[in-house]
Amino acid sequence: MRKFFEFQNAAKINCGEKALDTIGKELSVLGAKKPILITSSNAAKLGVKEKVVDSLKNGGVDEIVLADVAPSEVDVEFAKTIKETYISEKCDSIVAVGGDEVMDIAKVAKLLLSQDWDDILPIAQECVIASKNVPLVVIPSENGSGKEANGYVEVGEYYLSSSSLVPNVVIIDEDVAMAAPTREIAACGVYALANAIESYLEADDADVSTVYAEKAIRLLSDNLLIAVTDGDNKDACRATALASTLAGIAYGANPYGAAHALAEGLHAVTGELLEEMFALSILPAVAIARKKYENKVKNLYYLFVGADEYAETPSSERADKAVSKVEELLAKLGEVTGLATKISQTKITRETFGKIADAAVDKRASITANGPIGKDVFIDMLNRVY
């Protein structure tokens, strides 16, 4: 066991049937009556924004300030406009609906307001101590990263981690979280699986985050494919959405690993969607993890299949079968949605491997891993998944 580790998760999670209906009560408990609502363009397009506005009104929230649609990446300038509108309109809380970009922007806006600063740089350089209470309620859609429930955000070259960034309440409503097209749901589910698996592999056995990671892996292995193929299966959709949040909490405590670094490198060089790049990076990451985490990779098999099948399988075969289970899930998701699970299924060429590996080496997930990950490892991973 490590001599020291930190783990904090203060977000309240509301998950289940009609979870969205609790938003009015939660704001009331937080002493909030006039929220500013931040949404993504996708949330508006899919009708999610309208559902949230209706739930707010039905929950007794009469005054709602609608912010402009959030940009598709973390934009400090946009977060500043949220702060200005919040103050000028005398808002008392933030409600954020959407994917990563909305979660990050809401956190930055909360940070600027709570610290009473006008830019992110002084906050990044100083100890973060909240001077104002800024309630934040988040409702994830297009969720895969799980950023909605952890206390970190990446803004350009800065990585900020603080309890001041943790939302007060996370509302997981399957009709909101699973409103996206099936390919997007599949990609986000694989992203969540990468969060869960890498946090599980990289964390100390006694780290509390492993509990979240294990639960997320079980939920995703049992429910992700069902949720993708049968959107009317509420239980599977709810379990998949919850797993994304749990995996995000776990990864927030252990934000590193080869699958993340490679996915980010692929995204940076090719411009392909980050969420979809995890379908290329997670399998080789699990395969090479056997060298360092043999027993943990064996335990992945247990999390995928349960105690009976695990016990019936010889110990010498468990690691191989764990890798096969990940490969099998990816293949089935690819068949159903067209999600690329091999580089040969994309426009990415071998000639770019060196450039992609260089980009991956420079990613925080590589640098801060339990031993920096070298370029040769990423080249090996790319060749394995070609």
- Per-residue model confidence as pLDDT tens for the chain (386 residues): 456 666 666 789 999 888 999 999 999 999 999 999 999 888 777 788 899 999 999 999 999 999 988 887 778 889 999 999 999 999 999 999 988 889 989 998 998 898 877 776 655 545 455 567 899 999 998 777 888 888 788 777 677 777 778 899 999 988 888 888 899 999 999 999 999 999 999 888 778 889 999 999 999 999 999 999 998 999 999 999 999 999 999 998 888 899 999 999 999 999 999 999 999 999 999 999 988 899 999 999 999 999 999 999 999 999 999 999 999 999 999 999 999 999 999 999 999 999 999 999 998 888 877 777 899 999 999 999 99
Q: For residue 39, what are the β-bridge partners? A: 97
> Which has the closest alpha carbon to 174: 18, 13, 337?
18
Q: Is the pTM of this model over 0.85?
A: yes
CB 170 within 8 A of CB 134: no
Return d(Cα 186, Cα 229) in angstroms, integer.
10
- Pairing label, strands 93-98, 169-172: unpaired
**Domains delineated in the chain:** 12-177 (3.40.50.1970), 182-384 (1.20.1090.10)
CB atoms within 10 A of CB 198: 30
Q: What pLDDT score was predicted for residue 204? A: 80
Number of residues that this document lists for the chain: 386
What pLDDT does 160 receive?
Answer: 77
Rounded distance, CA 95 to CA 115, Å? 19
Q: Cβ atoms within 10 A of the Cβ of 230, count?
A: 11
Q: HSE-up of 28 (CA within 13 Å, CB side)?
A: 12
Is residue 139 within 8 A of residue 96, CB to CB? The reply is yes
Amino acid at 128: V
Partners of 155 in the β-ladder: 158
CB 101 within 8 A of CB 74: yes
Model pLDDT, residue 176: 84
